[in-house]
Structure 1
Amino acid sequence: MGIVFDETRKTFTLHTNDSTYQMQVDPFGFLLHLYYGRKTDGCMDYLLTYADRGFSGNPYDVGSDRTYSMDVLPQEFPCLGNGDYRSPAIAVRNADGSVSCDLRFHGYEIRKGKYAIKGLPAVYAEEAEAETLEIHMEDPVTKVRVDLLYGVLPELDVITRSAKVSNGGTSKVYLEKIQPACLDFVNGEFDFISFYGRHAMERNFQRVPVVHGTMCIGSRRGTSSHQYNPLMILADRETTEDAGSCYAMTLLYSGGFKGEVERDQFNQTRIQLGLYEERFSYPLESGDEFSVPEVVMTYSRMGLSKLSQNLHACIRTHLCRGKYRDEVRPILVNSWEASYFDFDGEAIYQLAKQASELGIEMLVLDDGWFGKRDDDNSGLGDWYANEEKLGESLESLIGRINALGVKFGIWIEPESVNEDSTLFKRHPDWAMRIPGRNPVRARNQLVLDFSRKEVVDSIFEQICKVLDQGNIEYVKWDMNRGLADIYSCGTDEQGKVLHDYVLGLYDFLERLVQRYPNILIEGCSGGGGRFDAGMLYYTPQIWCSDNTDAVDRVRIQYGTSFGYPVSTVGSHVSAVPNHQTGRVTSLATRSITAMSGTFGYELDLGRLTEEEKQDIRRQVADYHRYAPLIQNGLYYRLTNPFEQAVGAWQFISEDQAQVLVYSVMLEVHGNMTVDYVKLKGLKSGCMYREQVSGRLYAADALMEAGIPLPAAFGEYEAHQLYFEMER
């Protein structure tokens, strides 16, 4: 049983295969957090300590007991206004203008299966795979109620957290802050791992000590952003890839978020994750309910690799959905870097024909096919094919490409609009703009107000008319700017607009998924600007970065791997010199980096030499051979490319019989030293044969001493090693 309530000690204990999570209802009805970590038994309330601590106030209920303070005790769901001066998980502004909430225990339910969240993405599971704990908390004065939701998936070592906030009082209140996941540690020396970046260089790995004060990451941009990712890791100072305790939180939400790590005056650590409170003030009338986005939490006592593998398995098998959840994705060629806006239907057909000759399975028509769209200054919002530019109908072009045996995909950007478009001229109020002010433009476009149902419905109808014109099997959903002018003509409550925008986005995507269950949707926001677990519920892969440079991608994909499986990472081979960096790398190096993702091409196939075409045919064959291992195998980071001269990573099948190692040299120097890479996860005592050389290696030697990489001569050489266990 994953969830146990001890009536005598008033403890809730959540067990997974390798972890235990425990909380306790104290005599005053406060819900205290006791423990999260290595699997254990018994009651951990002995960890609580009490003392008279200056300037840490005491609840009225405890009378003259100055040793009891919410400012010191570890809490499960800390409130603003009840005497805890640390960062709260919830803040409520009441009808009288006060900002105060004092939640007390009001009951619980334990049930089989995993809870769902209406209108929001959430981990799913069969009834036998999970249990749900729902703890009811209520403010006795305002009657604001919070139902804390916990999903326990023992086999994955995952615990999910969400909540429902409802107004049981008679007056309107405002939800000013909400963070569904909070962990309090009464002791410990930790490092905080986060993933920062910018457009075209996302999810850089950063590890810093947790010190006194508060460290925050987040996004004010209305999307999860290129700048920070809603994934956080707290690790013991000595934790490595292979040993030590660590904790992860990832938010299933595609809008603004805030993650916090705080070390307080008594050396306690609090980590929490949820919505960004700036510009968030959500009204709740009497009887209204607010569903809180979900956080996935996992713990590992075997280092960061195991932590990542827990998240990978959860996302791949219990968050991603649909036809392509478990299927190997088709190899595609995207028209963007092949031609940008300069194409017609015949040019796209020729690209598809060249793809067919190389074994590439899909052609994706990127930006420029619709409305008046010959550059990025016009046309967004007018979702109909520009037949004059194409020289034929979209239906005709799709049919011709399908006749080659090539699948067809298409690019859309439904959330944005150009002022030079028919849609904007008819409905200028559908774009987000603050009355009386000139709008903030980005990429010369504005954002449509997806918090309004009529806007979502109209764009959805337009997109469906496009998708109904032929056998479209892939959609690239892009979003190329952040939200700045936060104002909706559809409501007087502007503090709800950002969240309702995300709900509108999810409503659109859910309808698209249900209407076209066989279409593969790839998320994108200028590449990795909305690479989050929330989007993966609707789009089982996301364009990892607009930066296709193979060397930069080693680092980008390294950071991404801490929280997201390879099957979700959109990655392509592009032309050289690279269009973002000007760097020149070999076709082999570009393919090895791109193969650790969904794999495809983004270049003009007509410019390839015959030798390069032969190389691509071999790459296509390699991908078909290794894709099941790459997509479903356990992933290990073998080096840190931010600190070492080589980037190396490994896939191994769950039965440990197949091992695939990739490496890319990031630096070359005179009289170069030898780089040894230690393999991981092999079956001790067994022998493994490398399939190209035919040489036999002992598993323990490969894991202990490693294997030397071939001496590099020339920049950015890449290598592939494939081993099979000898039976």
Structure 2
Amino acid sequence: MSDESHTNMNSTMLTSTVAIFIDQKINRHIFGIEIAPGSVEPFIPFSAWPCPPSLSGCGPKHAQPIFSPLINTLEGLPATYVEEENEADTVRICLIDKTLSCQVELQYTLFNQLPVLTRSMKIIHSGTEKIRLEAAMSFSLELPDKEYEMLTLTGAWGRERHIQNVPLHQGIQSIYSLRGHSSHNYNPFIGLKRKETTEFLGEAIGFSLVYSGNFLAQAEVDTYDVTRIYVKWDMNRSMSEVFSQGRECDFQGRVYHQYILGIYELYERLTSKFPEVLFESCASGGGRFDPGMLYYSPQGWISDNTDAVERLKTQYGTSMVHPLSNMGSHVSAVPNHQTSRSVSLNTRGSVAYFGTFGYELDISQLSDEEKATVQEQITFMKKSRGLMARGTFYRLASPFQGNETVWMVRSRDRSQAIVGYYRILTKVNDGYRRLKLAGLDPHKKYRIAHLGEHGYFGDELMEIGIVLNDHTSGDYHSKVPRGDFLSRIFILEAD
């Protein structure tokens, strides 16, 4: 990962942050789940070395690490943080160039119960003469081979964060934004996974840039099949003659970056003065849905496309990086404004449940039956929102790979779960299908609403599954609704 900036420096400081997620079971969100850090432990031995307080008398020439239990905040920028001191440990490594009177401070933070490593970089110039910073690396990681698939979240307005998997090959593969914001087109995230990695098992590494402006993220495979990862912000590329009439020529390359810093500063003032207010970010839908903005507004509008069928892909792709509590999701009017598609109120609600949930429609235009359905949906969401916000999320069937989408969320104690099943088009004489669940306690017995009172053990539900019988499989007495754009919600409670 890299930052690239073109600016003159005189007693200035630049910072950037990268978050790296490492998980052997990538179906789960890493937020609040107890997983041993494992592969990031080798950083701990740096803890014994002190960091120099100044450029003089600093001991060894190249690097001076210090170990701290705290995460330092980055002034004017979003950053990771902890609520308790024992949640993470931090290593700071200072690199010094005495000739240029420059210092680079690299800060690595290890989260003790999560497979997460974050890095920030601070560049300090304390000399008397100006120097020009041509390029600065936010992060760079070399891997011993190229046998990975590069997972990116691509799209455009109205269809943000669709999953794309591409095998790595010799040369450079990249995503970027030159639009002044992280953009609808490419989320500032790259995932590398082995070809055999599934939602439940395998090697996967994720990289997120905690920044909301221009960036470049790339994977380069050299002719020896060694893989290197880059993410960078770019402060000197123009979208539409971007400049500041009130500043000197040397400043113009920093306009994009200063604009983003101004947004961060405004958010900092607002959230500090009104801590009880929940701010939701939006930029033509999901045009700036990134870790930088989510630092200040933990809820974001992920897309202006509110069609429930299209939202399956957008929410599924977004869930690769972000928890449900980040995703703004609404039940909107039909025919849908973007697609002109008419989807049942039941399915629109069933999709929106797996997010923050809300309505954007004229309730006075609803029938009495639809109003009663809205009341039922609100009651269900009020009862379930704690599980939706804090539970463990599983992706079971991808909308990018077939006619069905399935996901589920279960409580940390594995006593509750909610499963969402969605079928886009109806098939004829399709046969019986089984929906295998995940993450349950194999020894607990679960009762599933509307599927009888006898219950099923967790291992049955994970190895055999729920039989999805309806009229398409010949069960013409089934009460499951008919037609396209079907959704079913299964609610599990352990005895």
Matches within 5 A, 1:162-177: 162-177=120-135
What CA deviation, in whole Å up to 9, does each residue of 1:136-160 have, x standing for no partner? 1123543432111111111122111
Paired amino acid for 1:599: F
Letter paired with 1:725: A
Q: In structure 1, what residue type is equivalent to 2:346?
A: A
Helix, strand or coil: the match of 1:155? coil
Which residue in the other structure is 1:715 paired with?
A: 484
Shift of 1:685: 2.3
TM-score, normalising length: structure 2: 0.84
1:114 is matched with which residue: 68, 71, 87? 71
Find the counterpart in structure 1 of residue 80 from structure 2. Answer: 123
Give SS of 1:720's match: strand
**Partner-residue secondary structure (3-state), 2:389:** helix
Q: Shift in Å at residue 118 of structure 1?
A: 0.5
Matched residue count: 435
**Letter of the 2:462 counterpart:** M
Q: 1:138 aligned to 86, 96, 108, which one?
A: 96
**How many angstroms apart in 1 are the aligned matches of 2:129 and 2:402?**
59
Alignment of 1:95-110 (within 5 A): 105-110=62-67
Q: Deviations over 1:171-224 (max 9, x none)?
A: 312223334222111235111000000000000001111110111111100111
Residue pairs, 1:290-309, within 5 angstroms: none
Deviations 1:637-666 (A, max 9, x none): 010111121111000000000010011112
Structure-2 change in CA distance of 1:581 and 1:675 (3 Å): farther
- 8 Å contact from structure 1 (residues 220, 278) kept in 2: no
SS in 1 for 2:150: strand
- Taking the TM superposition and a 5 Å limit, the aligned residue runs for 1:161-240 are 161-240=119-198
Q: Tell me how far apart the structure 2 counterparts of residues 543 and 263 of structure 1 sit (CA, whole Å).
A: 35
> Which one of the candidate residues 219, 233, 236 is aligned to 1:261?
219
The reply on whether 1:635 has 2:393 as its aligned counterpart is: yes
Q: Match for residue 488 of structure 1? A: 244
Structure 2: 5+ residue stretches without partners: 1-21, 23-34, 47-59, 473-481
- Please name the residue that 2:465 is paired with: 706
Task: Tell whether the 8 Å contact from 2:146 to 2:169 is kept in structure 1 after alignment.
Answer: no
In structure 2, give the amino acid aligned to 1:700: D
- 1:584–1:104 CA distance, 2 compared to 1 (3 A): farther
- Cα distance in 1, alignment partners of residues 420 and 382 from structure 2: 16
Deviations 1:378-410 (A, max 9, x none): xxxxxxxxxxxxxxxxxxxxxxxxxxxxxxxxx
Tell me the equivalent position of 1:658. 416
Query: SS in structure 2 opposite 1:625?
Result: helix
* Counterpart residue type for residue 312 of structure 2: V
What's the offset of the Cα at 1:484? 2.9
Measured after TM superposition, the shift of residue 277 of structure 1 is: 5.8
Residues 191 and 234 in structure 1, CA contact (< 8 A), matched pair in contact too: yes
The residue aligned with 2:283 is 525
The residue matched to 2:371 in structure 1 has which SS? helix
Deviates more, 1:260-269 or 1:652-661: 260-269
Would the alpha carbon gap of residues 219 and 277 (structure 1) be closer, same or farther in structure 2, given more than 3 Å must change? same
Matching of residues 118-517 of structure 1 within 5 Å: 118-125=75-82, 126-276=84-234, 278-279=236-237, 484-492=240-248, 493-517=251-275
Letter of the structure 2 residue corresponding to residue 488 of structure 1:
S
- Return the letter of the residue paired with 1:588: N
C-alpha contact (below 8 Å) 2:235/2:255 kept by paired residues: no
Query: What is the CA–CA distance in structure 2 between the aligned matches of 1:213 and 1:115, rounded to whole Å?
Result: 37
Secondary structure class of the residue paired with 2:266: helix
* 1:534 counterpart SS class: helix
- Show the counterpart of 1:20: 39
> Which one scores higher on RCO, CA 8 angstroms, separation ≥ 6?
2
Q: What does residue 455 of structure 2 align with?
A: 696
Contact 2:37 2:116 in 1 (8 A): no
**Counterpart of 2:377 in structure 1: which amino acid?**
Q
State the Cα deviation string for residues 540-590 of structure 1 (Å, max 9, x = none).
201111000000000100000000110111011011111100111100000
> How far apart, in 2, do the equivalents of 1:649 and 1:187 lie?
33
Kindly state the Cα deviation for residue 702 of structure 1 after the two structures are TM-superposed. Answer: 1.2
- Match of 2:231, SS state, is strand
> Residues 218 and 276 of structure 1 are in contact (CA less than 8 Å); yes or no, is this contact kept in structure 2?
no
Q: Deviations over 1:108-158 (max 9, x none)?
A: 211121121001011111222111111111235434321111111111221
TM-superposition CA deviations, 1:8-59 (whole Å, max 9, x none)? xxxxxx9x823223779xxxxxxxxxxxxxxxx999xxxxxxxxxxxxxxxx
The one-letter code matched in structure 2 to 1:109 is I
Contact 2:235-2:257 within 8 A present in 1 as well: no
Deviation of 1:677 (Å): 2.0
Give the deviation of 1:538 after TM superposition: 1.1
Between the aligned partners of 1:505 and 1:42, the Cα distance in structure 2 is 38
- Give the greater-gyration-radius structure (CA): 1
Aligned partners of 1:720 and 1:22: how far apart in 2? Answer: 41
Could you tell me which residue of structure 2 aligns to residue 348 of structure 1? none
Contact 1:178/1:277 (8 A) holds in 2: no
Cα distance change on mapping 1:695 and 1:22 into 2, 3 Å:
closer
Distance 1:531 1:603 in 2: 24
Contact 2:313 2:399 (C-alpha < 8 Å) held by counterparts: yes
Where 2:412 maps in the other structure, the secondary structure is coil
TM-score when scaled to structure 1? 0.58
Instruction: Describe the superposition over 1:412-463 as per-residue Cα deviations: whole angstroms up to 9, x where unpaired.
Output: xxxxxxxxxxxxxxxxxxxxxxxxxxxxxxxxxxxxxxxxxxxxxxxxxxxx
Unaligned runs of 5+ in 1: 1-13, 25-40, 44-102, 281-482
Q: How far apart in 2 are the matches of 1:277 and 1:184?
A: 25
Q: Equivalent residue of 2:122, what SS?
A: strand
Q: Any conservation in 2 of the 1:541–1:568 contact (CA below 8 Å)?
A: yes
Cα separation, 1, equivalents of 2:255 and 2:414:
49
1:484 counterpart letter in structure 2: S
Aligned to 2:297: 539
Give the corresponding residue for 2:381: 623
Root-mean-square deviation (Å)? 2.1
Query: Deviation per CA, 1:509-553, whole angstroms, max 9, x where unpaired?
Result: 111111222222111011100111111111120111100000000
Shift in CA distance, 657/511, structure 1 to aligned 2, threshold 3 Å: same
Judge which range, 559-568 or 691-700, deviates more.
691-700
